[in-house]
Amino acid sequence: EPEVTQTPSHQVTQMGQEVILRCVPISNHLYFYWYRQILGQKVEFLVSFYNNEISEKSEIFDDQFSVERPDGSNFTLKIRSTKLEDSAMYFCASNEREREKLFFGSGTQLSVL
Amino acid sequence: TQLLEQSPQFLSIQEGENLTVYCNSSSVFSSLQWYRQEPGEGPVLLVTVVTGGEVKKLKRLTFQFGDARKDSSLHITAAQPGDTGLYLCAVPNQAGTALIFGKGTTLSVSS
């Protein structure tokens, strides 16, 4: 079965540094998402992206966050100036059509020190 | 308050036992999904239920959507160690553009 691929699997960074988390969604999918899961807490929606623009974002997705689809395959999440509370597992997801089966990547574990 | 309340939070059982986990809300949903998440992995969709009262079976797993479409249950028959994981329920947000997850039930099945 096709997979959503995320890199790196682990990222350690210093507070205040910028990080870019990368995702390669499934090739024929059109809708892309970022979710995060703080240790021991629920999976939380960050942002959805379609047709090269953000379609929806949550309260968590403030000005420190941005997403981009720089080419035909990659989908990135940038955190401009990381905070300790940004430490979490970040999941990329995609689907072919909205409201259809969502495929998640294996996640990037971000640790902000 | 959480939109979706999942219970129990933790469940530890022996291989061969049956179990039921629940996902409850005071809101009505157009659909509800169940996911299973293993450590270090992303959630994997198990099933989507759409119709009130609907029952879906996936091998030893039986999913039911409440008649009023406010709650759901997942029943596992003869649990196996391979069933170990975090079971999450999720519903679409009002716009249908994102999923809202419950906190999940962590299931541990020992042999």
Tens digits of residue pLDDT in A27-67: 999 999 999 999 988 999 999 999 999 999 999 999 999 99
Beta bridge partners of B103: none
* Alpha carbon separation from A39 to A42, A110, A112, B69, B99 (Å, rounded): 8, 11, 13, 30, 19
d(CA B44, CA B93): 19
Determine whether the interchain pair A48/B88 forms a contact, defined as Cβ–Cβ distance below 8 Å: no
Alpha carbon separation from A60 to A44, A46, B20, B25, B64 (Å, rounded): 9, 6, 33, 23, 32
Tell me if chain B has a CB within 8 Å of the CB of A4: yes
The pLDDT of residue A49: 95
pLDDT band at B97 (very low <50, low <70, confident <90, very high): confident
The answer to whether B49 touches B63, Cβ cutoff 8 Å, is yes
pLDDT at residue B107, rounded to an integer: 97
- Taking a contact as any Cβ pair under 8 Å apart, which residues of chain B between 17 and 36 contact chain A? 31
Mean pLDDT, range B42-67, rounded to an integer: 96
Mutate to test the interface with A, among B9, B99, B100, B103 (most CBs of A within 10 A): B99
Please compute the mean of the pLDDT values over residues B45-52 and round it to a whole number.
Answer: 95
Look at residue B109 and tell me whether its pLDDT is greater than 90. Answer: yes
Kindly state the average pLDDT of the residues B19-31. 95
- Looking at residue B1, its pLDDT comes to 58
Please choose, from the candidates B111, B103, B26, the residue with its C-alpha nearest in 3D space to the C-alpha of residue B71: B26
